[in-house]
Structure 1
Amino acid sequence: MTFVECGVLFPTMKSLDAPKKSGAAEEATGFFTPNSQIDFSNVAIEPLFEEQVDFETFSKSDFRAVKVKACQAVPKSKKLLQFTLDDGTGTDRTILSGIHEFYEPEELVGKTLVAITNLPPRAMMGIESCGMLLSAVNNLKDSDGEELHLLMIDNHIPAGAKLY
């Protein structure tokens, strides 16, 4: 496909034969890594809860897409990261999360995450946290260790989008 302007042809699409780029950031997240290439053999999954939650209770949770505008380590804390988030309201939201063992702040800036936004504010280390970021956690087999993966979603999803 081409675009004609002043009698000159300008290509507007990449060749179908062009090699696909696979950036380090994409590989680091595992977002585009096929399941068949990930080793899950050392993962122990917790059993599902037996207690059920009725739909009315579940539907009270407000899950939203949030964009990470800034992230920094909380001074005097080994675990806490302080996130400044765009939640679509036009006012920055602060959420603290104890995930510093698993992530460095600078690698999270620009990511789109999932947050529960209607939890009551909670003060930690003198900073008010207004919500909770969702993560997947699993234990490692034959170990006391665990892995944590912050839920990151497609950056095309706008800040504030309600998740169901």
Structure 2
Amino acid sequence: MADEITFDDFLKVDIRVGRVTRAEPYPEARKPAIKMWVDFGPELGEKKTSAQVTAHYTPETLIGRQVVAVVNFPPRQIGRFMSEILVLGLSDSQGDIVLLGPDKDVPVGERMH
């Protein structure tokens, strides 16, 4: 179990839903990954990331999918690609990542409550 945090600590993490608008293989990555561009609506616009999700997804299956991401981390260099967000997921029984997303369509940019 992680360290206990306060509600104010939780509110500092900006978690929002976005829609994948573009996705490409990332063969230069050390571990198999996919580059994704995610639209968070007019307030935040489009942000990009790299995610190790190749066991369950292809670039084609990601396009149009709603995903949940932390949008207020500083950008991070992943190889030659600058990642601006952290898309959230869980490990399945094999250790492969399954993306988190709403089970019903919601407006892009909606912040998690």
TM-score bin (small chain)? 0.7 to 0.9
Write the letter of the residue equivalent to 2:109: G
Question: Larger radius of gyration, structure 1 or 2?
Answer: 1
- Retained in 2: the 8 A contact 1:86–1:93? yes
**Aligned residue among 19, 28, 33 for 1:67:** 19
**More displaced stretch, 78-87 vs 112-121:** 78-87
Higher relative CO (Cα under 8 Å, sequence separation at least 6) belongs to 2
- Retained in 1: the 8 A contact 2:53–2:98? no
C-alpha separation between the residues in 1 aligned to 2:25 and 2:82? 15
C-alpha separation between the residues in 2 aligned to 1:120 and 1:147? 25
Under a length normalisation based on structure 1, what TM-score does the superposition of the two structures give? 0.62
SS of 1:57 mapped into structure 2: helix
Matched, 1:113 2:67: yes
**More displaced stretch, 91-100 vs 61-70:** 91-100
Closer/same/farther in 2, CA of residues 132 and 50 from structure 1, 3 Å limit: closer
Matched, 1:82 2:31: no
Structure 2, unpaired ranges of 5+: none
**More displaced stretch, 86-95 vs 51-60:** 86-95
Q: Which residue of 1 aligns with 2:98?
A: 149
**Aligned residue among 53, 60, 63 for 1:99:** 53
Matches within 5 A, 1:1-164: 49=1, 51-77=3-29, 78-89=31-42, 91-138=45-92, 140=93, 145-154=94-103, 156-164=105-113
- Retained in 2: the 8 A contact 1:134–1:151? yes
C-alpha separation between the residues in 1 aligned to 2:26 and 2:83? 12
How well do the aligned residues superpose, as a CA RMSD in angstroms?
1.8
SS of 1:94 mapped into structure 2: strand
Runs of 4+ in 1 over 3 A off after TM superposition: none
Please state how far the C-alpha of 1:155 moved relative to its aligned partner: 5.3
Structure 1, unpaired ranges of 5+: 1-48
SS of 1:53 mapped into structure 2: coil
